[in-house]
Amino acid sequence: MYVSARSDYALRAMLAVAAAGGGGDGDRVGELVKAASLAEVQDIPLSFLQGILLDLRRAGLLHSHRGADGGYALTRPADGITVGDVLRAVGGSLTTVRGLPAERAGYHGVAAGLTDVWLAVHGAIATVVDSTTLADLLTRNSTDHAPTTS
């Protein structure tokens, strides 16, 4: 699996929007986050981010509000959006072989067994990304960086 800048930026943007909305506590909308703010805070080129946000909106993961008070919000709680949802929204298939989805990679002869390997790799990746939600990542972040008391 190759994680492109587009996929990395999409996940970072979704986490920032989720954090502004309460991080999966059941709030549907939460605070609206402006694209320019996301770009600045996450150090993502704004023009690149706008295309990513459009893909996330088209995939039904974000909704947008126009106007001076507009911005982006999650369409559902952060505990209902997985890393896999985000990756598929901006990159398509999780695993590719020579630019094709793993299930379409065909081999013959001595290499025929490679198809099974690529499908197993795809399954393992899907298991991880489809069982990890934005809320899980936000929770990990808050506990990993919590101040220690002595």
Tell me the sheet residues that pair with 64: 72
pLDDT value of position 144: 52
pLDDT value of position 95: 87
pLDDT value of position 149: 38
Count of all residues that appear for the chain in the document: 150
pLDDT, mean of each 10-residue run, the chain (150 residues): 90 94 50 92 94 96 88 94 96 86 88 92 95 93 48
pLDDT value of position 143: 55
pLDDT value of position 9: 96
Question: What is the Cα–Cα distance from 133 to 86, expressed in whole angstroms?
Answer: 10
pLDDT value of position 148: 41
Question: What is the Cα–Cα distance from 46 to 35, expressed in whole angstroms?
Answer: 7
Question: What is the Cα–Cα distance from 132 to 109, expressed in whole angstroms?
Answer: 38
